[in-house]
A and B are shown apart, each in its own frame.
Chain A
Amino acid sequence: MNKSLSLIELKRGEKAIISALPTKAVNLRKLLVFGLLPGVEINVLQVSPSYVVAVGNTYLALDREIARGILVMDKKWARKIK
């Protein structure tokens, strides 16, 4: 069973844990350098006109296309499988 959903399914103000990153190599590497890694908490600050997410002390603006490729899971669920 898969509890992962795409980042674009989250609402403004929701927090989650990253479970997977985009498979496309270019997009993946763009996100890695900003510290987006599986297991890291991501906080959705804004969903329009672009997505704005906070990871640690970094704020990052992303368009829907990149945001769609980021998979996240619920914080509670993430603790359970750890």
Chain B
Amino acid sequence: MGRQVILVGNPNVGKSVIFNQLTGRYVNVSNYPGTTVEIAVGQSRLCGREYDIIDTPGVYSLSPLTDEEQVTRRLLLRRRADTVVHVIDAKNIRRMLNLTLQLIDAELPVILNINLMDEAKSAGLSFNFSLLAKVIGIPVVATTAVEKAGIDNLKKTIADYRCKPVVAPRFSAPIEQAVAAISARIKKEYVFSKRMLALLLLQDDRETHAWASDEAEYLEILKIIRDLGARYQQPISLVIAIERQKMVDDLLSNVVRFGMPRHRKLRNIFDRLTREPVTGIPILVLVIYFGLYKVVGGIGAGVMVDYINNQIFGSVLTPLMGYAADRYLPWEWMKSLLVGSYGLFTFGLRYAVAIILPVVGTFFIVFAVLEDSGYLPRLAMLVDGLFKKIGLNGRAVIPVVLGLGCGTMAVFVTRTLETKRERLLATFLLSLAIPCSAQFGVVLAILSFSNVVVGLWAAYVLLVFISAGWLGAKLLPGQRSPFYMELPPLRLPNIQNVLTKVYTRMVWYFTEIIPVFIVVSVVLWLGDQTGVLAYIIEVAEPIMVSLGLPPQTAQTFLLGFFRRDYGAAGLYDMTGNGMLDEQQLLVAAVTMTLFVPCVAQLIVIIKEQGISVAAMMMVLISMIAWMSGWLMMRFAGLLFF
């Protein structure tokens, strides 16, 4: 195993760009706090030695407020890093050095990496780095990672790094005395220094208290904290924050010069236009319309699916495979397993490559552009009011928009929401009323005969989304958490970042989808051969008929459960064959959109929410979907057809 280098820092400081340039391999560069779902590890060879470079979710302090911050702290504790590189945003150095001081207090081997120097220059800041390194006592490296400036120097600093004891600046006497008294009473060993533990205990950090609660002298520790608290009118965490800021300002007093900012007119204009409601909401509508409807629906689900499915598969590959199977495969069962109606090739591979790949691919491109540009937090801010009505806050817009791409991924991302109640509500709404991109694209394609019908479908699904959320918010106990979010500057999306981000998500998607499609193909093939499938479909047919749909849709809906997008693709096939009239298409589209999510998403829901909650959701969703289909059959006809 190589030496361990852990990158830590706030969201939006370009940490992942640094990671890419150190490792030459990409993970997840994001402008949105909370999209680094997994922790990325990459290898690097510096001066002939192997290094493991580890990227972590963004943190604001060593005392975590969210699950993601928790992940980073646990990682710092578990992997004994040989070096911790603290990446900061140069123009916000006053705010960000607080975390550097915490890392020093924790006695971690820190290198300070001041990134985004280009933005700091236009903000009018200039630095004396050698002085900063001297006063703070750790190596300091400046970089502009997107331009690769300073990266060689950073590599060299990591390779040359030798841990030297650094004395962190001191707090005022009462706090230092309490810290010393608490440290003396901690007997267990920890990766963080006892000084840091004492400071975390003073700030009421829950995890640290849980950890320390079996210390023999824990009660005395609590008493020290209480006594210190009694000295101040303000909470201790505020006192500590104020004193830390004072330390930072002292350190920076001769290091940073604040000059006149260079006004970047264009950026400022865009910043305002996307932020103010009068212009921001129309822009939001345009982004959704062009990004989702035109690019994902039109190009992805329309042009690309048509071409790959009809031209490549329909007229070339499928006949070719059929011919080859006829010629070379003597066994009938094997022929049907490969090229039959549930065959691995004709069903599994064709659906995955011809229908899902183009749709999900274009969605991930659009999402990555929005993410990399810093637009998503603005979106969150603009919809906060609406989301409050459904028991969530603006933060939940990210899983919801991501759900328009892949619901399974989105349910994972509900982890970034603060309360259990919000996670539950968001998961439910994602499962019920948010169509994933494959489904969304196919629904647009099958309803393309009339814009009015697309509008009716969208309006109805939106209505279900809002009323289910509103009801859920009324019925579920607990409170929503207040909304706060940093708005990063709008940045021009970096093409390399966008492409590699799309690539990573596509890899994630396909490693998840390929096993599922193989299993689903085989299970369906077995079911088909043994007659089990026919039986289940027979049972489900009357339900379909009760919605005025042809019995064959039962099969489509069943497939839809194994993979929501497969179900949508099945509908798409049936439309091509002219099996459904216009009203039936609307009924099917609405029912399918609301119907239970795919197997993969169900598994994630069970993992995140437990089996009983998942089962309740499934029952509720099936009922709502059926009722909605029935309503559409009964009443939409009167209006439009």
Interface residues of A, Cβ cutoff 8 Å to B: 21, 23, 25-35, 37-38, 45-46, 48-50, 52, 56-63, 65-66
Q: Which of B65, B235, B241, B276 contacts A46 (CB 8 A)?
A: B276
Smallest Cβ-Cβ distance to A58: which chain B residue: B92
Instruction: Evaluate contact between B276 and A60: CB separation under 8 angstroms.
Output: no
Instruction: Evaluate contact between A37 and B241: CB separation under 8 angstroms.
Output: yes
Interface residues of B, Cβ cutoff 8 Å to A: 60-61, 63, 65, 91-92, 94-95, 98, 123, 203-204, 235, 237-238, 241-242, 245, 275-277, 377, 380-382, 384-385, 388, 393-394, 482-489
Instruction: Evaluate contact between A63 and B384: CB separation under 8 angstroms.
Output: yes
User: In the bound complex, what is the Cα–Cα distance between A44 and B10 (angstroms)?
Assistant: 23
Instruction: Evaluate contact between A26 and B65: CB separation under 8 angstroms.
Output: yes
Instruction: Evaluate contact between A49 and B92: CB separation under 8 angstroms.
Output: no
Q: Nearest chain A CB to B121's CB is how many angstroms away? A: 12
Instruction: Evaluate contact between A63 and B484: CB separation under 8 angstroms.
Output: yes
Instruction: Evaluate contact between A57 and B92: CB separation under 8 angstroms.
Output: yes
5 nearest CB pairs, A to B = A33-B60, A35-B95, A61-B381, A59-B487, A63-B483
Q: Nearest chain B CB to A7's CB is how many angstroms away? A: 13
* A25-B237, A61-B377, A63-B484 known; A45-B275 Cβ under 8 A: yes
Instruction: Evaluate contact between B275 and A62: CB separation under 8 angstroms.
Output: no
Instruction: Evaluate contact between B393 and A63: CB separation under 8 angstroms.
Output: yes
* A28-B235, A56-B94, A66-B482 known; A61-B380 Cβ under 8 A: yes
Instruction: Evaluate contact between B60 and A63: CB separation under 8 angstroms.
Output: no
Q: Which of A23, A49, A56, A63 contacts B382 (CB 8 A)?
A: A49
Instruction: Evaluate contact between A30 and B381: CB separation under 8 angstroms.
Output: no
Q: Nearest chain A CB to B261's CB is how many angstroms away? A: 9
**Contact sample, A vs B, 7 pairs, CB 8 Å cutoff:** A26-B65, A28-B238, A32-B238, A49-B277, A61-B381, A61-B483, A61-B486
Q: Which of B65, B123, B275 contacts A52 (CB 8 A)?
A: B275
Smallest Cβ-Cβ distance to B94: which chain A residue: A56
User: In the bound complex, what is the Cα–Cα distance between A28 and B482 (angstroms)?
Assistant: 12
Scoring A34, A52, A58, A60 by chain B CB atoms within 10 A of each residue's CB, the highest score goes to: A58
Instruction: Evaluate contact between A59 and B486: CB separation under 8 angstroms.
Output: yes
Instruction: Evaluate contact between A29 and B486: CB separation under 8 angstroms.
Output: no
Smallest Cβ-Cβ distance to A48: which chain B residue: B277
Instruction: Evaluate contact between A30 and B65: CB separation under 8 angstroms.
Output: yes
Instruction: Evaluate contact between A50 and B384: CB separation under 8 angstroms.
Output: yes
User: In the bound complex, what is the Cα–Cα distance between A49 and B276 (angstroms)?
Assistant: 8
Q: Nearest chain B CB to A13's CB is how many angstroms away? A: 12
Instruction: Evaluate contact between B242 and A38: CB separation under 8 angstroms.
Output: yes
User: In the bound complex, what is the Cα–Cα distance between A31 and B65 (angstroms)?
Assistant: 11
* Other contacts beyond A33-B65, A45-B275: 11, CB < 8 A: A25-B235, A29-B63, A29-B203, A32-B238, A49-B382, A56-B95, A58-B95, A59-B486, A61-B384, A61-B485, A66-B484
Instruction: Evaluate contact between B241 and A32: CB separation under 8 angstroms.
Output: yes
Which residues of chain A have C-beta atoms less than 8 A from B60's C-beta? Answer: 33-34
Q: Nearest chain B CB to A56's CB is how many angstroms away? A: 6
User: In the bound complex, what is the Cα–Cα distance between A26 and B66 (angstroms)?
Assistant: 11
Smallest Cβ-Cβ distance to B381: which chain A residue: A61
Q: Nearest chain B CB to A68's CB is how many angstroms away? A: 10
User: In the bound complex, what is the Cα–Cα distance between A23 and B241 (angstroms)?
Assistant: 14
Scoring A25, A27, A38, A49 by chain B CB atoms within 10 A of each residue's CB, the highest score goes to: A49
User: In the bound complex, what is the Cα–Cα distance between A20 and B376 (angstroms)?
Assistant: 30
Q: Nearest chain A CB to B319's CB is how many angstroms away? A: 56
Which residues of chain B have C-beta atoms less than 8 A from A56's C-beta? Answer: 92, 94-95
Instruction: Evaluate contact between A34 and B95: CB separation under 8 angstroms.
Output: yes
Instruction: Evaluate contact between B384 and A32: CB separation under 8 angstroms.
Output: no
User: In the bound complex, what is the Cα–Cα distance between A33 and B385 (angstroms)?
Assistant: 24
